[in-house]
Amino acid sequence: MDFLKTYATLIESEIHQLNLPETPKTLYEPQRYILASKAKRVRPMLTLMATGMCGESIEKGIPAALAVELVHNFSLIHDDIMDQADSRRGSETVHIKWDESTAILSGDGMLIQAMIQLHYVADNVDHKKLSRVFLEGINKVCEGQALDMEFENRLNVTPDEYMDMISGKTGALISVSLVMGGICAKADQKKLEALSEVGYSLGRAFQVQDDILDVIADPEKFGKKKGGDIYEGKKTYLMLKLLERCNKEDGKWLINCLENKAMNQDDVLRVINLYEKYGIIDDAESLMKTYYLKAEKALEIFEETKYKGDLLQLINFLKNREF
């Protein structure tokens, strides 16, 4: 995507220049390791786009963009420990390459590094507002993660509860990325609220889309086993809509599978057939499109600039992604 090269090059250059000391090695080496892994850098790109859309040079948003990327990677290190994941971005996870204690500490250090970045924002920016938005956003991510963990042991989770959960776990940091970019450009409250709406809408759309792709995507492109969420018994939007909509016989079988936390290949294929039988995939695709449209509509208050055009182009790419 050529239109993203300017942002990607700038972000990678700034990440490379981060002042991460050589010692203690067990603190900083894992941080350098995860930051060097192949990543899309979507969140810091959004910060720079928002800064540009609100009338400032994108360079003014660099400290906030770095803060967002650092805290995102902090959350990934800890998420991988909680999920006991072996790989991330095609490489060993930090807790596998080192150990859990090292991973926890290096993750904590990345959170501190993220907060340090906020001190490099221009003096004429409202630092109090910037810090509040950042910290409240991180707290919402933690709330979303906690709900996700609670849902693992509940069968009565509703689709609405799921949407609230992903608003925190996925949407909050995307929203923060955009709003912080706006704050760095000294945008007014109306524009900051619009940026927040864009972020939360993109987060919801992106996660529901992931739920859909788990079932319909080419595993080679998606990088995950087809029906992986079903094998794991995850409470995705599709699964929750199926529990809500299916008849008594199908519901009894499905609940039994989820309670026993055991799905074989035949079970997964049956669930996918039930998704088709009850129109679950069509329903999820409609919801996904609704949220992408909300994000696009929220951008209407901004002037037509290169940065707005780039963001709309990015949204269009995400909307049509196959992985």
Kindly list the averaged pLDDT for each block of 10 residues, start to end, along the chain of length 323. Answer: 92 95 96 93 97 98 98 96 87 96 97 96 96 97 95 93 97 98 98 98 97 89 82 94 97 94 92 98 98 98 97 95 82
- The CATH number of the domain holding residue 159 is 1.10.600.10
Give the integer Cα–Cα distance in Å for 251 and 45: 43
146-170 burial, b at 16+ Cβ within 10 Å, e below that, comes to ebbeebeeeeebebeebbbbbbbbb
- Spell out the long-range contacts of 219-225 with Cβ–Cβ below 8 A and sequence spacing 24 or more: 221/322, 221/323, 222/322, 222/323, 223/323
Which pLDDT belongs to residue 323? 78
Q: Structural domain of residue 209, as residue ranges?
A: 2-319
The number of folded domains in the chain is 1
Give the integer Cα–Cα distance in Å for 155 and 301: 42
Which pLDDT belongs to residue 245? 96
Can you give the pTM of this predicted structure?
A: 0.94
Quickly count: other Cβ atoms within 10 Å of residue 85's Cβ: 14
Which pLDDT belongs to residue 2? 87
Which pLDDT belongs to residue 283? 97
In this structure, is the dihedral angle defined by the CA atoms of residues 100, 27, 180 and 198, taken in order, positive or negative? negative
Which pLDDT belongs to residue 223? 67
Residue 178 makes CB contacts below 8 A (sequence gap 6+) with 46, 47, 49, 50, 195, 196, 198, 199
Reference 130, options 203, 179, 172; nearest CA is 179
Give the integer Cα–Cα distance in Å for 27 and 24: 6
Quickly count: other Cβ atoms within 10 Å of residue 82's Cβ: 11
∠ CA 209-302-40 to the nearest 5 degrees? 40
Which pLDDT belongs to residue 126? 97
